[in-house]
Amino acid sequence: MVHDNIVLGAGISGLTAAATLRHGGHEVLVLEKSRGLGGRAAARRWADLPVDHGAQFFTARSDPFRAQVAAWKELGVCHEWCRGFHRYQDASLVPPEADHHPRYACRKGMSALGSALAEANGMTIERQSKVTNVSCQSRLWTLTCEDGKSFRTRRLIVTTPPPQGADLLAEAAPGGCGFSARDRHGALLGLGRTVPGPQHPVARHPVP
């Protein structure tokens, strides 16, 4: 089977890209090496409590992402946690400056964001599928996983941390697929044709 789109990585970027494709009516498969979703927005259970071991909170600084956060609040996925932090200065606590940016956190742990994105958008996700090789021939991408499974796609969106993505793509034939590895530190590498579709809230990298 040849997929129309494969998104590599089920972190917030990958799941948002996949959601955007789904909203545009496109078929998409997400490949994720871990069992859990959300990537570095991650949580583990410890003494029966969720403990964030990646991002602990986030802000929303664009209207589309604020709309996404409002929907998550409504569903109980996240809540407003605070509006800034006290600083310790000259032997006293200085209250937070009013920057009008609420900080949001998730009571069930930050991995709730990944689960919510996947659930709301009915995504097809192959978990525990670590891609170890990417190749491209005649404008078709082939992704091979650690366990030998392989997937083919017309379009590939790579949302792994950039150095890992660049390493994976280094051996694929860039010339034949319109890929330029100019920016090893770009946040997201979209390969193949531009996908037409309606506007959809796009999550930014959560920035504290």
Ligand X SMILES: Cc1cc2nc3c(=O)[nH]c(=O)nc-3n(C[C@H](O)[C@H](O)[C@H](O)COP(=O)(O)OP(=O)(O)OC[C@H]3O[C@@H](n4cnc5c(N)ncnc54)[C@H](O)[C@@H]3O)c2cc1C
Interface residue list for ligand X (CB under 6 A): 8-14, 31-34, 39-41, 54-58, 130-131, 159-161, 164, 205-208
Query: Shortest distance, CB of residue 153 to ligand X, whole angstroms?
Result: 14
Query: Shortest distance, CB of residue 181 to ligand X, whole angstroms?
Result: 16
Query: Shortest distance, CB of residue 9 to ligand X, whole angstroms?
Result: 3
Task: Give 39 or 102: the residue with its C-beta nearer to ligand X.
Answer: 39
> Any residues with CB less than 8 A from the CB of 42 and at least 6 apart, and which?
36, 52, 53, 54, 55, 109, 110, 111
Task: Give 91 or 102: the residue with its C-beta nearer to ligand X.
Answer: 102
Task: Give 91 or 185: the residue with its C-beta nearer to ligand X.
Answer: 185
Task: Give 90 or 100: the residue with its C-beta nearer to ligand X.
Answer: 100
Q: E strands along the chain, which residues?
A: 2-8, 29-31, 43-46, 49-52, 79-82, 87-89, 92-94, 103-105, 124-126, 131-137, 140-145, 150-158, 189-191
Query: Shortest distance, CB of residue 54 to ligand X, whole angstroms?
Result: 4
Place of tokens 């991408």: 141
